[in-house]
Amino acid sequence: MSSVDLVLSAVGIADLCLQHGKKLMTAYQDFKSADEQVRERILRVQSVWARLEIQIQFLKQVANTLKREHCIIHMEVFEILKSKLSRAITKIEPVLKEGANFGIKKWRYPFLRDAIDEAISDLDQWQRIFDPTWYLIFLIGDEVIDKKLSTTSPLPLTTSNESLQTETVYKNSPLVPAQRFRSSLDWGQAVQIKYTNIRLIPRTASNKTRFAVDTIICDQTLDVTRARADGESLAKKLSQLNHRASGLLRCFGFIKRKDPESRKLVSLHLAFSLWTEDSNPMCLRHHLLYSTGISLTTILNMARQLVSAVSYIHTCGWVHKNIRPETILILPEDNATNPNDLGPAYLLGFNSFRSVNFRTMRTGDEEWDRNLYRHPSRQGLSAQEDYIMQHDVYSLGVCLLELGLWESFVSYDRDVGDAKHENKQPSASLGLGLDNLQFQAEGSAVSSKIKNHLVNLARLKLPSRMGDKYTSVVVTCLTCLDQGNEDFGDDEEMRDDDGILVGVRFIEKVLLKVNEIAL
């Protein structure tokens, strides 16, 4: 298909989505005479659609500026939306016909509520796929897009109902003034979450309101000026995200702490809002060690949230550099009735992140449990290569493997939860001993053997647990930098001026595939 035909096809599918959406919203309007619960649901779905309509119209206008692969991925995403809208229309058509002749009977109200709930759920699921492709638009340096942005009414960064509240709260400034916020935290009551470097810190005036705080130590190995600028930029971007769709907690404040005597900057802190006040958040490592009887649905939902988080980080122009179970926080739902429904997963651990546009330091460490989640070219005291997005994708693959097996690759002698000082051993489920985990500088054959072992472990054990599609996603992530990898290609092929191509491939080969899995 030629580029012109591709653009025309993308615009055509977008038009069909708009037509289906308009038809569905018109149909829902006829149900507003139903009970209050139905009316509330209609308002929710109309709010979501109003935003999506603006975004789809905008994409139609800039479609001819998109690169070929970006255009193709939008076509695929819009096909999914068209299918979901068609299904929603088909589901309510019998009620529409009945209502036109005799009015809607009260006994039909529960059916309507369920149908609209399903439509909301479908749109929420579609949003998880669409949002990363939407963010990629803003990475493109193009005069047409810049002009459209300047002449179009403010475009939403998120597509959920929560974004209405977010825009109001952060209208003037996306972050709480640092000085006031820093003094309002009770640092003396800080509690470290087991197996992590993340601390829970309450507000001085409230025992319930707590924040999850990531810390960046300002030592001689850190470029403090750049870290401070990057931290402020990251905090602003994370302050406006929809946490349920992105797999990332909303950042409430960026704090700089100085030594009281020397007045030198000693640490930087990112404070994240916990949307449940009474919850007891734990990291994924803790749950892998001690939680049993976890359903495949719960595991798959966590995987989707983690994939979304990585996609958001990359489309915002960052690499995380620290993806492992110790940096993934699980927040229990307030109204959860099933103890095995652990709650949604969120990616934290931003103490090593950096902008993708800056060169990275190649210093590392010999901690086997950290190197296990690093690509072979990034293992040991001295990494072979600069850090790129695909290195995050590899780390994600190791986490998805561990998540799918629901077995911790790291075991502890004692249940203290101090990841720094406890004696850690590779678990039996990993199938490697400490003598197999000697990570050396400049990379080594040992490192490659570890990666190959993880790939074989995925191919051997994951299909019976999570199915072939999930296994394929994990293997794709673990082999994303292999020569001849058909999904991501080699590193040189993936380098483009806007950094779009890796993001598009990740959405196509990982994000879409994970969200297609049905249990």
Segment 309-333, tens digit of pLDDT: 999 898 888 899 999 999 999 998 7
pLDDT at 440: 61
pLDDT at 69: 80
Between 490 and 488, whose confidence is greater? 488
Q: Distance between CA atoms of 55 and 269, rounded to whole angstroms? A: 34
Q: Is residue 23 part of a domain?
A: yes
CA neighbours within 13 Å on the CB side: how many for 298? Answer: 21
Mean pLDDT of the chain: 81
Helices assigned H by DSSP within 176-330: 178-184, 224-238, 243-246, 284-290, 296-315
Q: Is residue 56 part of a domain?
A: yes
Q: Is residue 61 part of a domain?
A: yes
Please say whether the dihedral angle defined by the alpha carbons of residues 83, 474, 383 and 326, taken in this order, is positive or negative. Answer: positive
pLDDT at 172: 38
Pull the structure tokens for residue 354: 């950096």
Between 341 and 470, whose confidence is greater? 470
> Does an H or E element contain 500, and which?
helix 500-506
Between 20 and 447, whose confidence is greater? 20
Is it the case that residue 397 has pLDDT exceeding 50? Answer: yes
CA neighbours within 13 Å on the CB side: how many for 428? Answer: 0
Q: Is residue 189 part of a domain?
A: no
Q: Distance between CA atoms of 60 and 339, rounded to whole angstroms? A: 45
Residue 21: domain span: 3-169
Q: How many domains does the chain have?
A: 1
Helix, strand, or coil (residue 30): coil
Q: Is residue 85 part of a domain?
A: yes
Q: Is residue 512 part of a domain?
A: no
Is it the case that residue 157 has pLDDT exceeding 50? Answer: no
Would you place residue 259 in the very low, low, confident or very high pLDDT band (cuts 50, 70, 90)?
Answer: confident
pLDDT at 70: 81
Q: Is residue 197 part of a domain?
A: no
**Range from 176-185, 231-240, 285-294 that averages highest in pLDDT:** 285-294
304-310 mean pLDDT: 94
Between 160 and 491, whose confidence is greater? 491
Q: Distance between CA atoms of 49 and 462, rounded to whole angstroms? A: 38
pTM, to two decimals: 0.82
Q: Is residue 228 part of a domain?
A: no
**Pick from 82-96, 103-117, 277-291: least confident:** 103-117
pLDDT at 51: 84
Q: List pLDDT tens digits, range 366-390.
A: 789 999 999 988 887 666 678 888 9
pLDDT at 158: 47
pLDDT at 360: 62
Is it the case that residue 144 has pLDDT exceeding 60? Answer: no
Q: List pLDDT tens digits, range 442-461.
A: 455 667 889 999 999 999 99
